[in-house]
Structure formats: C-alpha cells, structure tokens
Structure 1
C-alpha cells in the first residue's frame, strides 16, 4: 500500500457539532421541536437535504419552501464553517505519521468543492492534502468508483495500492469497486438505517477509534506505529 484516501465528514474531520448547532437554531427560530443531536449526527453524511428534512419533515425536498430553507442552512454553514469543527481526536498525529514517511494522503468526498476547500483552508490542511476529489470533478459520485479512480490517477498510484477510509456504505462500495483496501470508520456518522450490521458493508476491516485506524494503517503501509500516548493528543 502506498497512499491513504479519506472521506471527509465523519471520517477525517468531525464537523457534526456545527451542523447540529445550525439545525437546532433553525428549530428554535421556527418554534419547532428541537431535533436531537444524535439524530442529526446520523444524517450528516446524507447531506444538507437530509439534515434540513429533520426540521421540516412535512415538506417535499423539491418544494420551493424547502429549497429556501436548505439554502438558508447552507449559507449559515458557509459563514460559520469552523466554529466547533476539528479533526477527530488522534487524527493530527496520524497525518503527521503519514507525512513523515512520505506517504501521500488525500480526500474523496461528496461534499461540494467550495465548502470542502473552505473547510481545509480554515484547518490549514490545503497544502498537506495530496489530492482532493469532489462531486464537481466527476460525472458519477460515490458509490460509483469514478472518484476513486480519478484520485488514483492524480496520485499516479494504482487503486490496488491505495487504502480508503469512510463511514458510509457508499464509501466502502466505491472503494471496493475500485479494488482499494477499505476501512470502515465506525467512530464516524454511521447512517441510522445501516449502523446495526456493519459487517454487511463488507469492508476489509472495521475500526472503532482513530487509534485502531492508526494501527491498521501502520500494518498495511509497513511503517513504525506512533506511541499510543502521542495518538491521544489532538494537535
């Protein structure tokens, strides 16, 4: 294995707190029942439409009023994209481990490019990320393997020599279809309808914590693992 690719929300970066804050603000402004934070978390990987639907379940997603609310949600998120957002605990030293071994890492996400780039910029990850593939770069997004193949091409590394880490069935499906080694990040935003049978996702391995992810990556990449005390540091 020669490279590592990550899904973004729920795998590399813990963005849920900012989404929860905005959705719950919208509930209070509309004098609606405040949606539970844990429920919002399960919908993060499903995108803005799914999260806004929690606030306005009676509206069709193609309804003009719903689309207005969705845009309001996106505007708020863009304006305050990194308030409580950060990499998952242990992820900073994990990336440092990869970089110290000259192992490129990148991101393949279904998040729009302008939001992804803004997020990476605010977290000072832009220059460190070796490849970034977003929906605008392909005709078919995950679970189709097209984004995975594009990332591999840009890295000049065969897909079979790349590890892909994700927290949604479409991540694992896309990685498997591209013949990558797949890791299910069970610490992420597991969708409600799929979280009770993780083995059914058919990932090569399931990890419950970033410390486990670091161990698996060390084994697959044949590098010396970091001290566990170091992994517990966030920066």
Structure 2
C-alpha cells in the first residue's frame, strides 16, 4: 500500500492570493489593521501559526491572544469562500488532474492531504477546482500548528481508513516548500518537491527532497519512477 499526501496551496492549486486577501479582511474586522499580512511569509506555515505571527507582530502577546486567534480564523473562513470564488488568478496546477485521476484508479494507492490549511479552508480552496472528491482524509492546520505532527496525523488517518499500517517508506509527502520536505522527513516518510510555488527544484533538493520535479505535467514520469 502506498500513501500519497499532497499539500494544497501551490502544489495542487493556486488561489491567486485569495487566502491572504481573506486573512487581511479578517484582521481588518477584528484588529482594525490594514494589510496585516504585509511582511509575513506564509509559505509552508499552518494557518494558526500565520495568524499567531500576525498577532505577535501587530498587537503583541496578551491573555486574549488565543481568543483573538480563533476569532480571526473564523472570520477568515467566512471571507475565504467569496475570495476563492471571485479570484481571477485561481487555477489547478499543471498535470494535477491527470495524476490524481491516474493514482486514484491505481490499486494499492491511497490519496490524502497534508496541509497547513485548517480543514474547512482546504476544502473551500479545493472545491472550485473540483478536487475534493480525491481526498477523503488528511492532516490539517486545524489538527496541529506543527507541520510534522499534522503529517503524522494524516498517515494515522490513512491507516485507520485502510485498516492496516502503512510502512513509512511507502508514504510520500508532496509539497512545494522546504517546510513540506522537512516535515515529511522528520516524520520518517519519503518526500517529493514540486517547484510550482516559490522554490526551485534545486532549492527543494537542498531542503532534502528525495525527488523534485518542475510540476506534475513535466515531472510525471520522474515521480512514478521514484514512487513505484
């Protein structure tokens, strides 16, 4: 049994900045701060960790931080669906539909998510691209702010679904950032870097990726050779 765990943003889809716009709107509502995400690097971080970083940078730490964090995340989700649906830059990335169709039809392969998005946020983002049906489970930012922990949770969910443990060497964590690669390796799994985000193939290899490809259109054969 092989388990393929996909990141969402810049790996499966590109939202055209919808997530950051929704988060800015949520911060404007709760903190009365414009452009709260300016200067915050979100790549590969979990949603709760991003909001925590914004709060610490813009407001500072106090006893209400956790309450503020949850309130901002709730508002973010309410704005996100609108931003995703109206985003002119939204697209499913090259080769994704084809590889998901091929892998979901293949015996002995299970697909899941391993993403820093909170679960509802991930589902909203994937819905416009009609990709949710490929992923029945996953590990999410709503499971843990720690990326390695949520990757492990995704693997546990897969084992529960399959009714049997999956060997670590048969689990592939697929993502576009060094944080995806580092989390997968820390969990003891194999890693696939996809250079459809802000990092090159070379940078993903440098982060420790077992395999790195430009995208799933150009890199399909290389990925299949490594995984199968």
1:118 equivalent in alignment to 2:124: yes
Quick one: distance in 2 between partners of 1:199 and 1:153? 28
Change (3 A) 1:77 1:214: same
Partner of 1:100 in structure 2? 105
Stretches of structure 1 lacking an aligned partner (at least 5 in a row)? 223-235
Q: Tell me the residue number matched to 2:195.
A: 186
Task: For residue 133 of structure 1, report the CA deviation from its aligned partner.
Answer: 2.3
Deviation at 1:33, TM superposition (A): 7.9
Structure 1 segment 159-198 matched on structure 2, within 5 A = 159-190=168-199, 197-198=203-204
Q: Per-residue deviation at 1:130?
A: 4.2
1:17-166 to 2 correspondences below 5 Å? 17-19=17-19, 21-22=21-22, 43-47=42-46, 50=50, 58-60=58-60, 72-84=75-87, 85-102=90-107, 103-137=109-143, 141-144=146-149, 146-154=152-160, 155=162, 156=164, 157-166=166-175
**Distance verdict in 2 for CA 1:77–1:213, change over 3 Å:** same
The answer to whether the Cα contact below 8 Å between 1:131 and 1:151 also exists between their aligned partners in 2 is yes
Equivalent position to 1:220, from 219, 222, 226: 226
The answer on whether the counterparts of 2:172 and 2:191 sit within 8 Å (CA) in structure 1 is yes
Q: Distance in 2 between matches of 1:173 and 1:108?
A: 13
How far did 1:7 drift? 1.1
> Which whole-Å CA distance do the structure 2 matches of 1:187 and 1:32 have between them?
29
Tell me the TM-score normalised to structure 2 length: 0.68
- Going from structure 1 to structure 2, the CA distance change for 1:12 and 1:69 (only over 3 Å counts) comes to same
CA distance in 2, matches of 1:221, 1:105: 13
Conserved in 1, the CA contact under 8 Å of 2:213 and 2:223? no
Q: Cα 1:52–1:89, aligned 2, differ >3 Å: closer, same or farther?
A: farther
Residues 1:209 and 2:215 are matched in the alignment: yes
> Residues 3 and 158 of structure 2 are in contact (CA less than 8 Å); yes or no, is this contact kept in structure 1?
no
> What is aligned with 1:8?
8
CA distance in 1, matches of 2:51, 2:141: 19
How many angstroms apart in 2 are the aligned matches of 1:135 and 1:26? 18
1:232 counterpart residue number: none
Contact kept? 2:6, 2:113, Cα under 8 Å: yes
Does the 8 Å CA contact 1:167/1:189 hold for their aligned counterparts? yes
| CA shift in 2, pair 1:61/1:213, >3 Å | farther
Query: How many residue pairs align between the two structures?
Result: 215
Unaligned runs of 5+ in 2: none
